[in-house]
């Protein structure tokens, strides 16, 4: 099964492409010019403004600290010095980095990295490091597919049936989706330094049976709160705001951990 056949995920990204092209008329106009055609030819990418929008946005969320330090800072410094040629050179280097990352890592990996960044920011811990090396574009697609579909199953149901809808999703789809991710991925993730930092922050290992029991008990007790959380998460996913989705997830996990 190819990553892009993951249930619902590909449809979500197609929807996001449509939103991007609808909301960026200026970018679309630029995309029709010969200069833009020459640029993408030089970068070695397909001439597709929808993919450009989505790729840039995902990369910024996945690697924004690198962009700020090594890319935007140089552009801004050159602009402040009114050295527009140097600013353009720095911008070109940065865009090449974005293109290379999108081509080599893939949309799903970048989205997953952005989600992980948002989660770390929400917990106020260091940005993820070794845990990101565990994932690739295919496994990240399945993990995202699981999160998006689980969120949708709860958000689009009745609030008082949140627990039941989550269990139904797991039995009908969820277990199968996660089954495509090798056990070695979870083992490496559990032993990562990033997971140790999360455990230290929360006082419980989020990958443990203990946390799973805590989460299910919390959802049973707070179906309305879980339903509201799922609606916010789903909206963030649909807008491709994975940083915010990760932040929301961190808030939920923190509240569950406090119920220990």
Predicted confidence band at 178 (pLDDT cuts at 50, 70, 90)?
A: very high
Predicted confidence band at 34 (pLDDT cuts at 50, 70, 90)?
A: low
Say yes or no to pLDDT of 86 above 70. Answer: yes
Which are the contacts of 60, defined by CB distance < 8 A and separation ≥ 6?
Answer: 67
Say yes or no to pLDDT of 106 above 70. Answer: yes
Alpha-carbon span 107 to 17, nearest angstrom: 12
Closest CA to 114 of 15, 240, 235: 240
Copy the structure tokens of residue 72.
């935007």
Copy the structure tokens of residue 252.
């939920």
Predicted structure pTM score: 0.77
Mean pLDDT value of segment 222-242? 93
Lowest mean pLDDT among 50-54, 133-137, 249-253: 50-54
Alpha-carbon span 221 to 50, nearest angstrom: 42
Copy the structure tokens of residue 164.
């039941």
Closest CA to 73 of 57, 86, 55: 86
Between 85 and 134, the more confident residue is: 134
Q: Give residue-wise pLDDT tens across range 186-210.
A: 999 999 999 999 999 999 999 999 9
What is residue 98's predicted lDDT score, i.e. its pLDDT? 75
Mean pLDDT value of segment 157-164? 97
Q: Within the chain, how many helices (H) and strands (E) appear? A: 16, 0
């Amino acid at each position: 099964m190819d990553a892009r056949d993951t249930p619902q995920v590909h449809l979500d990204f197609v929807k996001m492409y449509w939103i991007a092209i609808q909301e960026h008329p200026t970018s679309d106009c630029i995309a029709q010019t010969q200069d833009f055609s020459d640029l993408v030819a030089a970068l070695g990418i397909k001439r597709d403004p929808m993919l450009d929008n989505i790729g840039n946005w995902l990369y910024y969320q996945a690697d924004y600290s690198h962009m700020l330090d090594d890319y935007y800072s140089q552009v801004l410094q050159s602009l402040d010095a009114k050295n527009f040629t140097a600013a353009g050179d720095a911008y070109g280097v940065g865009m090449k980095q974005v293109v290379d990352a999108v081509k080599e890592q893939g949309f799903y990996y970048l989205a997953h990295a952005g989600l992980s960044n948002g989660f770390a920011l929400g917990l106020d811990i260091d940005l993820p490091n070794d845990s990101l090396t565990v994932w690739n574009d295919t496994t990240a697609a399945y993990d995202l597919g699981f999160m998006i579909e689980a969120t949708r199953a709860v958000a689009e149901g009745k609030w008082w049936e949140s627990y039941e809808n989550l269990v139904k999703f797991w039995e009908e789809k969820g277990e199968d989706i996660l089954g495509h991710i090798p056990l070695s991925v979870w083992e490496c993730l559990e032993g990562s330094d990033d997971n140790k930092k999360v455990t230290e922050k929360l006082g419980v290992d989020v990958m443990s049976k203990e946390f799973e029991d805590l989460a299910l008990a919390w959802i049973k007790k707070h179906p309305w709160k879980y339903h509201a959380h799922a609606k916010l998460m789903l909206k963030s996913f649909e807008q491709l705001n994975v940083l915010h989705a990760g932040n929301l997830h961190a808030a939920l996990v923190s509240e569950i951990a406090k119920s220990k």
